Structure 1
Amino acid sequence: MENNNHGHLETSKADKAVWLMKCPTLVSRSFKTQEEPSRPVAKVILSIDPLLSNDDNELPQFTMELLGPDCGNAPKSYSMDISKDFIPMSVFSESPQGKLAVEGKILNKFDMRPHDENIENYGKLCRERTNKYMTKSRQTQFINNDTGSHMRPMPGMMITSVISDRRRQPAKASEMKRTRRDRGEMEEIMFKLFERQSNWTLRQLVQETDQPEVCFFIHLPAYCMDALFFLSFVLSLSHFILISQR
């Protein structure tokens, strides 16, 4: 800065009161696109309640109304909330020639928000903006290789696609997480299965009982012992009945 301006800083406007305003992007864009720079872009309305005494800590109410042309659902009126947590600052500017100057001292800091009267239109504007960004715009792309060879399926492409489709298939209900049954319920199910038929494979038993494989194989010896005990009891009982009949 000292090399460009020889250490000179214009301070004639250092004591001028300036407002720092945080405004939406829509408002700042409308300020920058004014055709006539000298034309007013907005007006600020100060609302004062005459019934309030000077001792009240109520802050004054500021409202800004844009003077530019209507922009669809864009709000025209904004509430200006005064920030209480404010650190004194100054505003600096730099001319195209590189000259630095102090434009003033910031007196108040404001946060702009759409006025309650325009909140419905502002909601419509937000929805329109969201839909605009979510909608994918069509793009035209030029293909250098116009022979069409890249559009024909190459050998092995169909097999790969079939394999990938098989991998994407969701798991069946039988392959989902199974609920573990208690021993008494499992014994009853096993007896009913062997009453239906005498020969079963282990895979068929797992599917019929709908149990986790690890849990089923851990308790399988106990089921077999119970079945053998029951079978021996039945044989002994039948032998006793035959002897009694004789």
Structure 2
Amino acid sequence: MTQLDELPASSEALQGEIRSWLAKSRTSAAKVKQVLGLLDPVRLGNGAEKYERPEWRKDGPPSMYRAHWRHQACQILGTQESAIPENVTVALKAYLWPTALDTKRADHTAWIIKVPKFVSRVLHDAAAANKQMPSMEDDMDVDMDAEEPVGTVRIFVDPFQADKTKAMTQGVMELTGKEAASVPKKYILANQATDMPMHVFSDVREGLKLGGHQDITLEARIDLKLDMRPSSIDDVDYNRVSKERMEQAQTKTRVTQSSSEMRFAPLPKRANLVRFTADAVGAKTEKKERMEKKALENLLFGLFEKQPYWSMKQLLLESKQPADWLKTNLSEIAILTRRGPNMGLWGLKPEWKQAGAPEQMS
């Protein structure tokens, strides 16, 4: 059961209207507690799982929360929604449900303006200065209404259009604040037509000390998309700002690194290089000496008497002959097995096996 002291602080006005209504009808304290507990969005959502209509969505608008509250409250009280007094209905509409999308400002309109970077800095500096004014007011006599505006905007509209607010053809903005002393003062606000609907949202709500990622407010609908440009490219301040921007873009960032931190491997001594080179040359000049053909054949026959099959690598190690010379003489007395368990090995030709059979028998 939700404790009444755990209900949202913004529901105090609605709680008072509900208590007055239920006190007149002499409702039991248990039911009053249940109805007030429905002001908790979590409890309201848990109760909505028991029925299909009205439909419940986690990202629903405040109207959905109000519909579910009326439905569940009437089920608890055993009455119809038409029995809910007008003052409770008005307070229910004014209640801002936590985690629900605040759409009170859905009919407000706003502009979205693309501004140069140097103008953005001016606007941020002016906003920061305004935030410091309340603290200064405590220390000295400061008239908050006497603060200077950042600038002025003039709008040009088509006089032949019925709705002048939506027929702005062009605007002119002039910066007048002290923060804009070093930037161009006059700008043109060119209208950029777009068919894409856009809105402004925020995560800070009025009346709440802290906003969260679930407290989303629809601030306004984007009515105009504007592009802010200097009114004249011959402006002295604009030329100076453009020059500074170009110089910054052309400035290259260089990083100096100390050579003491670099790692390197020392070169070998000259004596080692000479000895290594001599060994390499000696290895390259070493050649295997050819045996006579008859002597090589006798050597091969002797090897095949030890075992019937040999690999080329084994024969090279046993004979210590050049590969080409060994293969030439080997192919005359042996053949390479292409299949079977001895595939890839050399064995004597059948005629040499038959010729050698009587000698082995004697």
Q: TM-score range by the shorter chain?
A: 0.3 to 0.5
TM-score, scaled relative to structure 1: 0.47
Q: Which structure shows the bigger proportion of residues in helix conformation?
A: 2
TM-score, scaled relative to structure 2: 0.33
Larger radius of gyration: 2
Higher relative contact order (CA 8 A, sep 6+): 1
